[in-house]
A and B are shown apart, each in its own frame.
Chain A
Amino acid sequence: MAKTTTTLLIGAAILATAACSKKRPETLPPPPGAAVDQGPGGPGGGVGAVVPGSAEDFRRSVASDTVNFGLDMYDIDGTARGILDSQADWLQRYPNARITLEGHCDERGTREYNLALGDRRANSAKNYLVARGISASRITTISYGKERPAALGSDEASYAQNRRAVTVVLSGGGSMGGV
């Protein structure tokens, strides 16, 4: 009896955590200089027209568009390195893409200092990407301080989410929506 319960529990746990696995890229990106036309009916086209080199493509291709930081920190840790590496890869495939790095802070800091700290974080990520071979002229930085939190709570988990640098691909120089 106990063994059945245990098995059920383990099975349920596996099912529950199965959804949390990291999304892998479906297909390997084509080598540089490959065919440009990939029509909507292309093999394995999937959901609608994801224009390669676009922001949508970026979000689907890279590990994450966000790297997080420790309290009052702005250094790139191991996890962040992995994420930025994947971003650097994508950027190298699409040399015309330009990005903005947004630096953000949690609410537990004064307003002006957080503007400076957000700038530090954005620049930290930028410097890493530049070191990985991305031209600095393709990257702009902006700090939002604590003005645009991602998580609204006043707890440590929310704060950890808010301490971040977000990479936003600028599509065609158009606006990215509200400021």
Chain B
Amino acid sequence: MERSEKIGLGVAGAGHLILFGLLSIGFLATPNPAKFKQQPMEVSLAPEVAIEQAAPEIATDPAQSVAPEEGLPEDAAPPAPDQPAPAPEPEPRPAPAPPEPAPPRPAPRPAPAPKPAPVRPAKPKPAPAAERAPARPAPKAPAKPARTAAPVRPAAATRGSGSTQTATATKPRGSRLGADFLKGLSPEASNSRNPNPPATRIGARAAANIGSAIQRQIQPCANRQVTPGPGAERIRVAINLRINKDGSLAGRPTVRGHDGVDGENERYVARVDDLAIAAFVGCAPLTGLPPELYAVPGGWSNFTLRYKLPG
């Protein structure tokens, strides 16, 4: 071999070794793919903000509110001019957050309206709750007396004393119990120890849970329904169902309306109605639905089933 050839071979060999080394380093540097695996996450869609107050579990017979002990009314600290209404928190945290209003009192709303709130008797009836406290920490929140730390008293407001505008603005005051605060209270003490806050309607989360419970029960019967013909899968029918407390059908379902009907699948509409009703009836009576959510508006005594064939 010539000398030049030897040199060339040497260089090539060295280059290959360097290359091999670099690539090995590259392999070693590869992160373990397993680390990048994302954790699956359960997603439940329910709007958290509601215009009306709602509670996930509504008490039809909540514990009687007890008027808290109060001292003399006193000047509250000047409120910030644009203190927002205490929105219900996304996370189930009980009272400790400062701007929160006190739990249920004989006041219709805990809005920081600088007006004397008309006194309302605390009745053993669902009244607008202060906040959508969750079920779990519920035992603590509603029955808690007013936190003395809370500076805001959502009741009678008075004008503050002072010279500045803000100082002389009307401020929310600690509540003065009106003369007639016992109005409406029944003489018998309520025996209910139901810790849940009273509310007027099902919260969206609770509705989602009931809805998915109903859908799970109906799904196997829906899966057995036979499509009548091509194009029927575009039709969606809404039927109204009235349910007894035991989960059985209270009366003949009524058809509310249809989506997706066109000239080509019009002939299948009656049959899709049949299939929707059969899907429910086949799996009736419904079981395991919370009885306390039966009679409220949005409860499961009367709901709409929207059915369509797949495809």
Do A and B touch directly, given a CB cutoff of 8 Å in the complex? no
Which residues of B pack against A, CB within 8 Å? none
